[in-house]
Structure 1
Amino acid sequence: MPRFAGLATMMRLPSATSPEGLDVAFMGVPLDIGASLRAGTRFGPRSIRAESVMIRPYNMATGAAPFDTLQVADLGDVAINTFNLLDSVRIIEEAYTRLNAFPVIPLTLGGDHTITLPILRALTKKHGPVGLIHVDAHTDTNDDMFGEKITHGSTFRRAVEEGLLDCKRVVQIGQRAQGYTSGDFQWGVDQGFRLFTAEQCWYKSLTPLMADVRAIVGDGPVYLSFDIDGIDPAWAPGTGTPEVGGLTSIQGLEIVRGCKGLNLIGGDLVEVSPPYDLSGNTAQLGANLLYEMLCVLPGVQSR
């Protein structure tokens, strides 16, 4: 089948209706009603899948051969309520909670960053409080946005308040730009987060940083949440809240590859907004970052 034809699944993988028998499941959450500036991330999962068709099985840079040892399929999209954010959050939590009955690791195509809260709610029912590696231009620790407690900018404050995170094992990478107060980045640090701003990452490889990150998060369960706006808009313009001075696509690869050896229980790639991604480059980068997440999951062997 030509790569431009056939069913539009992630990386042209089999489409499945159940996680039974799977080690890893790709899932889409087409949500954008939690976003605060540009909309359009509801089309993110479809665009990421479309741009994933060129991804081949073997990772020539790292030697990872994920399909040699893991059963992987695309479970399609969560049927969110496009008119009600809180109901959508409930639906997402229930969908991921159902996965807990199976030994499957979910990798999620977003969707705005609101989706990580219900995913964490579901996964912590199985694993308890988890560590977090969070790549983003923003800390997403607002107390509220326009009076609303659940939005894409308040995800990780709610996660802390609900006891979903092991705060001493939380790392944030790539934060930058401006704030409403001088202490906007401080809230998470006060909870125990380690914060590495974009400026701390300029002009250097992030491979050494990831050695420090692995030491921080340790051997416990950890979740990887990658907001595509952590990458500079020169490489990833198709997102809702772009900020200049961000990470490069190469640094993004270094971050994900640097998670090898961790006890990853899931991951997501969020905030791809195709209406602002006319070339498809943002979705293509998102698809490749998700593939790299697959390549560092427990059980993946190298060739």
Structure 2
Amino acid sequence: MTAARPTPIGPPDAATVPRYVNATTFARLPRLDQVGRADIVVAGVPFDSGVTYRPGARFGPNHVRQSSMLLRPYHPMLDIAPLTDFQIADAGDFAVNPFSMDSTIESITNGARELISGGARLMTIGGDHSIAFPLLKATAEQHGPLAVVHFDAHLDTWDIDFGSCHSHGTPFRRAAEAGYTLRENCLHVGIRGPQFEKEDLAADADLGFQIVWGEWFDELGIKGVIARMRERLGDHPVYVSVDIDVLDPAFAPATGTPEAGGFSSRELLALINGLAGLNVVGADLVEVAPAYDHAEITGIAAARIAYELISVMAVDLHQRATVAEFAEATPAEVTEAVIAEVGAGGSSPVAGDMPFAAVER
């Protein structure tokens, strides 16, 4: 019905090319310089000079890439094949300055601007959580103020760490102060454990964040948390930030500030899956410190989380492409496509239904 887009280049066939050969990219995807353009770009930020406890997240991007070799193209829960239905590419790593936070913030901002300037969505692998501030800045410049869902054990809305206004504990305060976030549409999910002081919670609320405490999870359940997220985020452009320490240390030991009582991998994947259908325009996954990993436990969880985030972005791209396709179609073409869709057991895309299993379950 519309002009055909170039056929995406996906990962090589694992039945003919072993997963462990050739240069390591995320999910064995092509490099950005090999394809020229992409719907979704994966980039690494090997920077951990903002940490306040265990270092090592600067080695996170390549560890997550190495742990992503077994990812496969088709996502049965969302009925979409993000790695082959869309052009996704690995752009490599942003240049960072391990001795300068200010220089690194500038490099990340400029690098992200360049990658998303043509409309691509960015999946960033860190690095510590300080990288979220420049990523939010670049994304907000492209899409306007953002609804934010932040999966983490910690608030990361503190003001000053060791005399510095930028660290892995401050990015969401800086972003809110700069106007990059929508103060009625942001929330933390998974915060748990002791806090510095009660006043931190009031300051966090003043910045526009609601909290879904990790300690509430057994009572709310997966469906309850998803409902709260979707209600809070609304139909705004959404940015998703995932600190791997939102998982319990049993599922993600390789992180700088582990906190007992976190989500299981399955629970977090289900929560991210529940974002399908929202306008997710960017995401980051941070704080994987491979020196503390064993048998790639954390890396494998992190790679799957990144895949899930890419998948929910792909769902939104699919929806928008479908709407655009029908907007340009003749009435006869619309009728023909609806009959074919319903006859195949799907639901009518012009009726506003979401034919993805995650939303229907």
Please report the TM-score for the alignment, with normalisation by the length of structure 1.
0.96
Tell me the equivalent position of 1:13. 29
Structure 1 residues 1-303: aligned runs within 5 Å: 1-17=17-33, 20-202=36-218, 205-297=221-313, 298-300=316-318
Whole-Å Cα distance in 2 between the matches of residues 101 and 274 of structure 1? 32
State the shift of 1:259 in Å. Answer: 0.7
The Cα offsets for residues 112-142 of structure 1, whole Å up to 9 and x where unpaired, read as 0000100111111111110001000001011
Letter in 2 for 1:299: L
Question: Using CA pairs below 8 Å that are at least 6 residues apart, which structure has the higher relative contact order?
Answer: 1
Q: Is the 8 A contact 1:19 1:25 kept in 2?
A: no
% same residue: 38
Q: Is the 8 A contact 1:11 1:49 kept in 2?
A: yes
The Cα offsets for residues 139-179 of structure 1, whole Å up to 9 and x where unpaired, read as 10111011110000001111111111001100100111212
Tell me the equivalent position of 2:330. none
The Cα offsets for residues 176-224 of structure 1, whole Å up to 9 and x where unpaired, read as 1212212323322233321111101136631232122112111110100
Letter in 1 for 2:28: R
Whole-Å Cα distance in 2 between the matches of residues 18 and 114 of structure 1? 30
Runs of 4+ more than 6 Å apart = none
The Cα offsets for residues 82-133 of structure 1, whole Å up to 9 and x where unpaired, read as 2212111111011111124211000011110000100111111111110001
Letter in 1 for 2:91: L
Whole-Å Cα distance in 2 between the matches of residues 211 and 176 of structure 1? 20
State the shift of 1:19 in Å. Answer: 8.2
Whole-Å Cα distance in 2 between the matches of residues 54 and 296 of structure 1? 19
SS for the counterpart of 2:199 is coil
State the shift of 1:248 in Å. Answer: 1.3
Query: Gaps (5+ residues) in structure 1?
Result: none
Report which stretch shifted further, 191-200 or 25-34: 191-200
SS for the counterpart of 1:142 is coil
Q: Is the 8 A contact 1:132 1:171 kept in 2?
A: yes
Letter in 2 for 1:25: V
Whole-Å Cα distance in 2 between the matches of residues 86 and 203 of structure 1? 42
Aligned residues: 303
Whole-Å Cα distance in 2 between the matches of residues 14 and 238 of structure 1? 27
Report which stretch shifted further, 10-19 or 234-243: 10-19
The Cα offsets for residues 242-281 of structure 1, whole Å up to 9 and x where unpaired, read as 0001111111111110110111110011000000112211
SS for the counterpart of 1:285 is helix
SS for the counterpart of 2:157 is coil
SS for the counterpart of 1:114 is helix
SS for the counterpart of 2:197 is coil
C-alpha RMSD of matched pairs (Å)? 1.6
Report which stretch shifted further, 251-260 or 45-54: 251-260
Letter in 2 for 1:241: T
Please report the TM-score for the alignment, with normalisation by the length of structure 2.
0.81
Structure 1 or 2: more helix by fraction? 2
Q: Is the 8 A contact 2:42 2:89 kept in 1?
A: yes
